Amino acid sequence: MTIAQSIVLGIIQGLTEFLPVSSTAHLRIAPALLGWPDSGAAFTAVIQLGTLLAVILFFLRDLVGMVTALADPNRRRGPEGRMALYLVVGTVPIGIAGVIFKHAVEGPLRTLAVIGTSLIVVGLVMALVERLARHERAMDSLSLRDVLIIGLGQALALVPGVSRSGITLAFAMAIGLRRDAAARFSFLLSIPAVAAAAVFELPTLLHNRDVGISAFLAGLAAAAVSGYLCIRWLLRFLRTRTTYSFVIYRVALGLLLLAAVLAGKLG
């Protein structure tokens, strides 16, 4: 992989990791359209270190508050201490599912047909939730039960095309969270899951001679910058707008992708 290719994929990763359109899908589709080799599940997981850096920097004050709350016995049961617990609990389902279904995720499920179908199905789910949900709860109203529900939704994101941000956003809105609150919790919940996946896949990528250190670092930087800008934009967007634009994009892209696969244009 060249530095230019890695930068392009890093920008795609940064933008689509937080938009509810599936970063895995776009990192699989873009190389296919450009005639590049599939970057692979390991590269997809590790390049997320760039977006991990972006979300940590954006929510640094929140994260420092959680850490200091855990270190202070008088604050552990307060809002910041509870949020730290929620992030751990919400990550458990995807951690278990990731170990059980690792080979399927890295192999058979990375087909463009699966990705196209996932884009459409989750897009329709998002549309249904957008129409029926109350959109009135703040993030500080979350309970342990709510977090487990969102965490189960996040586990579905192991299927390429589902979108971690998209499915957690849908599940969070389904239990009544406002759109911006749902997105905020989704971003925070991504931190332990993305960090674990990246660390787990890092040895595989480092032993892969197709991706050099320079290209890898360039991709990480591109993902970090584009990811940070995307978080800031999306939180503002969802304060006043719905997710229907993402629904339309997902369904249209999924239909085009399936049509291209059926026509033999993409493998």
Length of the chain in residues, anyone?
A: 267
Output the pLDDT for position 41.
66
Q: State the CB neighbour count (10 A cutoff) for residue 114.
A: 17
Is the residue at 57 inside a domain? yes
Output the pLDDT for position 136.
95
Is the residue at 167 inside a domain? yes
DSSP helix/strand/coil, 137: strand
Largest CA distance in the chain: 63
According to DSSP, the residues that pair with 137 across neighbouring strands are 177
Annotate 230-257 with b (16+ C-beta within 10 A) or e (fewer). Answer: bbeebbebbeeeebeebbeebbebbeeb
- Say which amino acid occupies 162: V
Is the residue at 267 inside a domain? no
Closest Cα partner for 62 from 80, 86, 76?
80
Output the pLDDT for position 193.
86
Is the residue at 160 inside a domain? yes
Is the residue at 86 inside a domain? yes
Phi/psi at 76 (5° precision): -60, -30
Residue 94 has which token pair?
């995807």
Is the residue at 247 inside a domain? yes
Record the pTM.
0.89
Q: What CA–CA distance (Å, rounded) separates 225 from 13?
A: 10
Is the residue at 129 inside a domain? yes
Give me the number of domains the chain comprises.
1
Structural domain range at position 81: 3-262
Q: Encode the chain (267 residues) as per-residue pLDDT tens digits.
A: 788 989 999 999 999 999 999 988 898 888 888 888 877 766 777 788 899 999 999 999 999 999 999 999 989 889 999 999 999 999 999 999 988 988 888 778 888 899 999 999 999 999 999 999 999 999 999 999 999 999 999 999 999 999 999 999 999 999 999 999 999 999 999 999 888 877 776 676 666 656 678 888 899 999 999 999 999 999 999 999 999 999 999 999 999 999 999 998 876
DSSP helix/strand/coil, 243: coil
Phi/psi at 7 (5° precision): -65, -45
